[in-house]
Amino acid sequence: MSERLGSLLVPCCILLVSVYASLYVGLLPPLWFSILPLLPLILAGVAILLAWHFNKGRVLILVLLLLIPKLYGDSDQDASLTAYLVVSCFCIALLGFIPERGFFNRFAVNRILFVVMLVCWCYAIERRWVSFSFLDYAFFHSSFTWSTVLLWCVLCLSTTAIGAAWWLSGDTFRASGLISIICLLIISHFVSSDTQFDALLSAQFLLWIWFLLMESHRMAYLDDMTRLPGRRALNEQLVGLPNQYAIAMVDVDHFKKFNDTYGHDMGDKVLKTVASQLKLFAYPGRAFRYGGEEFTVVFRGKHLAESEKALELVRESIEETLVEVFDPKKKRDVDVNVTVSIGVAFAALAESPDSVLKRADEALYQSKKKGRNRVSKSLQPKNV
């Protein structure tokens, strides 16, 4: 729950601040007021460069969608805005359901062509180059036409779809996409001046720049498979530890044999299961992916007294969790359980983190030697 809501926190803050700032944008000094129309283009350029650098094709398409109303200019603004709203909200929601395929390749080209086709189609309808007369009829004798109802159906469907997808996954891209759709609705129905329009649109590009920077942090510090912080994050954590801390090493028992029996794909599934149990039960420690089938848990400060209890809980939860894997010999799925061996070391006064990590690894070896599936504690060093 906290991760899900956390993915929406910064996008919501950017939206609220931008809406508040747009109400007072007229108070800007003349120099800033003259720069404001160029700000969306500048931020869009920065977002595109970052998307290219991090190979994020979905963000490229999304930035191009956000640029459509700005590039239309002032000619027939209401018509162009309606066409833009239909295409952008639908495509932003659609981007939340398709995988990332890179910045510029045949996948990106196909997606851009699809968006261009939708824009051209909607623009042709707005300009009456293509006409469907039945869409101009009243919707069941109401004041709304069929075209208006269909437009709002697309908007509601797009918002509901990406909102539900975000709620189920907690994905940051979907959270940012949901806020972008809400911001576009605000721009379309509540903005009364070009300066407000530029301020809100600039905030949207700022939102996607933030997303790309967060993605760069995730790629550098988060392990893609287990979704735990990786070795680089662990190294930075070890640098800033307090005087009192403990380090635990966690290793999956008989992992090589498991891989040989069920295959590496099933081995990856086991690692994901172990990582999920570490996330749930390692608190107040913080779990990291050390490498291979090894994980590290760091406890610090006043929480040291709870560390051994937490590690025992982790060991028990992993042992009790069944993992469904495909057995190539039986040609069917079977439920198996795995165990872990754990070694923990408590830091002595003035002892270096590397030394504590080494002692935790030695305690892990003792757990293996004593029969596995247990927690062993390292003795305090005699000389530091």
Residue 4 phi/psi, 5-degree rounding, is -65, -50
- Give the H or E element holding residue 355: helix 353-369
Q: Which of 122, 127, 126, 97 is nearest to 111 (CA)?
A: 97
Q: Where are the alpha helices (DSSP H) in 100-253?
A: 106-126, 146-169, 172-190, 194-221, 231-239
Length, in residues, of the chain: 384
CA-based end-to-end distance of the chain: 43
Active site residue 293: yes
Which amino acid type is present at position 233? A
DSSP 251-300: EETTHHHHHHHH-HHHHHHHHHHHHHHHHHH-TTSEEEEEETTEEEEEEE
28 closest CA partner among 202, 190, 208, 206: 202
Residue whose token pair is 């990291």: 288
Q: What is the DSSP string of 205-232?
A: HHHHHHHHHHHHHHHHHB-TTT-SB-HH
136-163 b/e (C-beta count within 10 Å ≥ 16 → b)? eeeeeeeeeeebbeebeebbeebbebbb
Catalytic residue among 293, 319, 320, 362: 293
Do residues 205 and 47 make contact, with C-beta atoms less than 8 angstroms apart? yes
H helices then E strands: how many in the chain? Answer: 14, 7
Active-site positions read 293
